[in-house]
Chains A and B, each alone.
Chain A
Amino acid sequence: MDKLPWLGASVKRKEDDRLLRGSGRFLDDVEETLALHLAIGRCPYPHARIRRIDAARALELSGVETVLIGEQVVARTEPITVLRPFPGSAPTVFHGMAHGVARYEGEPVVAVAAVDRYVAEDALELIDVDYEPLPHVITVEDALRPGAPQLHATVPGNVVVESTVRAGEPDKRLADAAVTVDGTFRINRVSGAPIETRGVIARWAEDTSTLELWASTQTPHLLRAQLAHCLRMDETDVRVIAPDVGGAFGLKIGVYPEDIIAALLAIDTRRPVKWIEDRTEFFRGAAHAREAVHALTIGADRDGALLVLRDRYLIDLGAYHGPLGPPLLTSIMLAGPYRLHDAEIHRRVVLTNKVPMGAYRGYGQAESNYVREVLVDRLARRLGQDPADFRRRNLLRPDELPFKNVSGATYDSGDYARGLERALSRVGYETFRTRQKAWRQQGRHVGVGMSCYVEFTGYPSSAFLGRTGARFGAYESVTLRMDRAGRAALSTGVSTFGQGTETTFAQMAASLLGLDPVDVAIHRGDSQGTPYSVGGFASRTMIAGAGAIEKAAGQIRDKMLRIAGHILDVDPAALEATAGMIRRRDDPSVQVSIQRVSEAAFLGHPLPPGEDPGLEATAYFDPPSSAFGYGTVVAQVEVDARSGEFALQRYILVHDCGTQVNPMIVEGQVQGAVAQGIAAALFEELVYDRETGQLVNGTMVDYFMPTAADLPAFELDHLETPSPVTPFGIKGVGEGGTIAAAAAITNAVCDALAPFGVDLDRLPVTAESIWRALAGARAKG
């Protein structure tokens, strides 16, 4: 195929005009007349038996329509399914509302539908819930102790699943290794924290006897599937519509208890039921992410060849499986971009009385990158090698790809060392060590840290997902239709949550149909009128979507050429579609407009004999392989060795996401992901009090998200190695920026403080944690 005209162009985003004018329509902007408003009573304890609920006084309050309690929900619904369970997991029965026992602070216990939110909240105050607090566990270590409170009868010992991945001969390599280092690392519990909270409007459509659910979701079709299952309905009788979504980041995948509650109340009352999450609820109801404890060992031979990796880690799942399930990519990507054949990875997914874990941008990959890259630096130091040299030696070379890593993932393409070198030269690494020495003599502690990653994007086929127990496919789909004016309408089940899909999909379709992107209208996010779709997550939409668009547009283009050939009396094989016209390749003056061809298809005349009217195609594309992006972060910090305070002076990321469909959108995705990566590395942590089991900092004031004043300018550089295994060589890009942040900054701080022998092993990295590490190192002498 000729080069696609709009592929690689920084086309202005289609979404921007409406969003800038305040005309974007988010969940709270969806107008529903006569809606009831929902308020949800939540368990104030981390773990409690619900002995009795008395709602009599609430029901007497004027304006209250109805009250729903857990007993009813449990009787009328199925538990929430898990979209991507860890293979072999024991079930944690998670309903739309707690009945009998509530297992985390914030779990829904009772709900009120009333004429407005104020009345509904007042009514909650009138409901008597008799709780019997039960012993709770807040840390994974506590949850594993003999005699620890048990969260679920189905999960003995609070371990949902325990399994091991083994490759090669890890024990032998450990014994052989000249040098081994180990470390225990704690990864903080954080939240994706989109600026738009969750929200839902449920409506029973009397005319069609169907349920309509407007939801702030990144997966309309998967939400529909899960919701229908919970409600014991057929999917066909449920319609899910995602309006503009105000940020998602993995947190808005799948069905949540509130969706089920709103749906039941809409069915009962025959009125629309609306719920907008407030921020207090958000921190206690929307998925938390990342928290894990890793005990990692790596070893190398005397020359510094990486020989072996052994990890034993605990994932803190919270109180239930959320709708998606815990991350699988932690294990899959632990080996990173290195030549490593021998490993043992042992993982346990553990229950605690906290909000259920969900996905967050870089799911699993940010976790494994952090522990591995920090320990790689320690290993290099132990070997007396420069951390850059150690990585140079062990990074996979382009001629070693494709390479199957110890967990079975096959890296497709890339030049990992080139990314490292580019980032190092940007920071002036050649001369940095000399400068660093000079600064040290002046009492200044400046350090550079690096972190290399390879990133799993997209899924390697629906069959792969099926084999590993997932309840969704790897595909994406579109319906494309030409209208009589010669414009295209593209329908996709993917919703719009900031990723720019409306623009990039239009670019692809326009390129393949010979149109301008402005002539491609996008209909998105509505399960009705779009083909089955998986949705926007796992950096997969562009890869799978581009394949679907290629197929659908190809069918339409071929038909347009046949019709044009008929009109022009030319062999269709001699024609091409470009710039709104169908014309002869060798004589562009012989041409007919796409508008006229579309009109012929619409009128059914003039068409070649036997040709059906219409210009419309639906296509699915199931990617056969994942594509692997990669990159290196180099961070520079200066640390005050007395107070632990530090400044992040430079932040350099060189990355490769294959073919870029729209470089401006890629830049935005990377910028945003880097900001979130640094945020989780330096600022954010959801803290639970071990004694009371309460979330200590569940407000925007106490959960320190960075502002424009808190982050440095990032220095980004792109390499472009088209993937050999995906349509147009596209690799996913939405998540990569988060992955390497924590390790690069940790390594930079440890490098700055190398004379003190400081090791850091927990996130976030704060002045206090550095100060403590310094004090510890001094005490050790």
Chain B
Amino acid sequence: MPVVELTVNERAVRVDVPGQWTLIQLLRDGLGLLGTKEGCGEGSCGACTVLVDGRLTRACLALAVRADGARVTTIEGVGTDAALHPIQDAFVRHGAIQCGFCTPGLVITTKALLDEHPWPTDHDIREFLSGNFCRCAGYNLILNAVRDAAGVVTEKR
């Protein structure tokens, strides 16, 4: 069985990985990091989004063996035990979470957005978030949370 060495949330790990495993299996079944969710397994919903070397990646599609040597950030690596990350805090304050199944993927996506565009336009925000379905919260509250986290004033009609 191939062995994959990678850094997950700043920790170096070695995992035995069956050849057909995807990255989400490596994270969930190999490392017990259950925060990354699978909503479709076909690359459509964005629930499984993680960062691989800083890039947004659908963990349900990425092959686990390809993650050898990569730096992966999952929801468990955002925020600390003591405090939520400002993105997470903005989600709480704006009521942007309901069932929470899409939330880890959305928080990771927002992190990638703000890493790349510290001052995103509304267009950037919608563009980035358009790969993540949320079925509960109706997007506007999520957009408000992201704007707030980005320090962007909410667009008013």
Contact (Cβ within 8 A) B99 A497: yes
Q: Does A193 contact B (CB under 8 A)?
A: yes
Contact (Cβ within 8 A) A21 B99: no
Query: Closest CB-CB distance, B157 to chain A, in whole Å?
Result: 7
Q: Does B98 contact A (CB under 8 A)?
A: yes
Partner of B44, one of A672, A673, A700, A709: A700
Contact (Cβ within 8 A) A672 B98: yes
Chain A residue at smallest Cβ distance from B94: A664
Q: Does B79 contact A (CB under 8 A)?
A: yes
Contact (Cβ within 8 A) B138 A20: no
Chain B residue at smallest Cβ distance from A706: B139
Query: Closest CB-CB distance, B102 to chain A, in whole Å?
Result: 5
Contact (Cβ within 8 A) B135 A705: yes
- With contact pairs A246-B100, A715-B157 given, residues A668 and B79 touching in the complex (Cβ less than 8 Å): no
Contact (Cβ within 8 A) A713 B157: yes
Contact (Cβ within 8 A) A711 B138: yes
Q: Does A25 contact B (CB under 8 A)?
A: yes
Residues of A within 8 A of B10 (CB): none
- With contact pairs A20-B88, A705-B133 given, residues A672 and B138 touching in the complex (Cβ less than 8 Å): yes
Stretch at the interface among A8-16, A125-133, A479-487: A8-16
Q: List B residues 48-102 near A (Cβ within 8 Å).
A: 74-76, 79, 84, 88, 91-93, 95, 97-102
* Interface flags, B14-56, vs A, CB<8A=1, else 0: 0000001000000010000111111111101101000000000
Chain A contact surface mostly: loop
Chain B residue at smallest Cβ distance from A197: B39
Query: Closest CB-CB distance, A66 to chain B, in whole Å?
Result: 23
Contact (Cβ within 8 A) B141 A671: yes
Contact (Cβ within 8 A) B127 A713: no
Q: Does A749 contact B (CB under 8 A)?
A: no
Residues of A within 8 A of B33 (CB): 22
Contact (Cβ within 8 A) A19 B20: no
Q: Could you tell me the distance between the alpha carbons of A26 and B101 in the complex, rounded to whole angstroms?
A: 8
- With contact pairs A20-B92, A24-B100 given, residues A195 and B47 touching in the complex (Cβ less than 8 Å): yes
Query: Closest CB-CB distance, A541 to chain B, in whole Å?
Result: 14
Q: Does B137 contact A (CB under 8 A)?
A: yes
Q: Does B8 contact A (CB under 8 A)?
A: no
Contact count band on A = 35 or more
Partner of A19, one of B40, B100, B129, B143: B100
Contact (Cβ within 8 A) B130 A707: yes
Q: Could you tell me the distance between the alpha carbons of A29 and B100 in the complex, rounded to whole angstroms?
A: 13
Q: Does A118 contact B (CB under 8 A)?
A: yes
Q: Does A701 contact B (CB under 8 A)?
A: yes
Q: Does A247 contact B (CB under 8 A)?
A: yes
Q: Does A676 contact B (CB under 8 A)?
A: yes
Contact (Cβ within 8 A) A699 B37: no
Contact (Cβ within 8 A) A708 B136: no
Contact (Cβ within 8 A) A674 B138: yes
- With contact pairs A195-B39, A246-B37 given, residues A21 and B75 touching in the complex (Cβ less than 8 Å): yes
Residues of A within 8 A of B150 (CB): none
Query: Closest CB-CB distance, A280 to chain B, in whole Å?
Result: 8
Residues of B within 8 A of A713 (CB): 140, 143, 155, 157
Query: Closest CB-CB distance, B33 to chain A, in whole Å?
Result: 8
Residues of A within 8 A of B45 (CB): 195, 700
Chain B residue at smallest Cβ distance from A666: B95
Chain A residue at smallest Cβ distance from B137: A672
* Interface flags, A705-742, vs B, CB<8A=1, else 0: 11111110111000000000000000000000000000
Q: List A residues 1-42 near B (Cβ within 8 Å).
A: 10, 12-13, 15-26, 28-29
Q: Does A244 contact B (CB under 8 A)?
A: yes
Chain B residue at smallest Cβ distance from A497: B99
Contact (Cβ within 8 A) A195 B135: yes
Partner of B133, one of A13, A248, A707: A707
Contact (Cβ within 8 A) A20 B139: no
Q: Could you tell me the distance between the alpha carbons of A699 and B43 in the complex, rounded to whole angstroms?
A: 11
Residues of A within 8 A of B133 (CB): 195, 700, 705, 707
B37, B41, B100, most chain A CB atoms within 10 A: B100
- With contact pairs A195-B39, A195-B45, A709-B127 given, residues A20 and B98 touching in the complex (Cβ less than 8 Å): no
Q: Could you tell me the distance between the alpha carbons of A706 and B129 in the complex, rounded to whole angstroms?
A: 12
Residues of A within 8 A of B102 (CB): 195, 246
Query: Closest CB-CB distance, A305 to chain B, in whole Å?
Result: 37
- With contact pairs A17-B84, A21-B35, A707-B129 given, residues A196 and B138 touching in the complex (Cβ less than 8 Å): no
Q: List A residues 195-248 near B (Cβ within 8 Å).
A: 195-197, 244-248
Chain B residue at smallest Cβ distance from A244: B100
Contact (Cβ within 8 A) A22 B132: no
Contact (Cβ within 8 A) B100 A671: no
Q: Does A675 contact B (CB under 8 A)?
A: yes
Contact (Cβ within 8 A) A249 B135: yes
Q: Could you tell me the distance between the alpha carbons of A497 and B136 in the complex, rounded to whole angstroms?
A: 9
Closest 7 CB pairs of A and B: A22-B35, A19-B100, A246-B101, A498-B99, A675-B138, A498-B98, A22-B75
7 A-B pairs whose Cβ atoms sit less than 8 Å apart in the complex: A10-B95, A22-B35, A194-B101, A246-B101, A246-B102, A668-B95, A668-B98
Contact surface of B with A, Cβ cutoff 8 Å: 20, 28, 33-42, 44-45, 47, 74-76, 79, 84, 88, 91-93, 95, 97-104, 107, 125-127, 129-143, 155, 157
Contact surface of A with B, Cβ cutoff 8 Å: 10, 12-13, 15-26, 28-29, 118, 192-197, 244-249, 276, 278-279, 496-500, 650, 664-665, 667-668, 671-676, 699-701, 705-711, 713-715
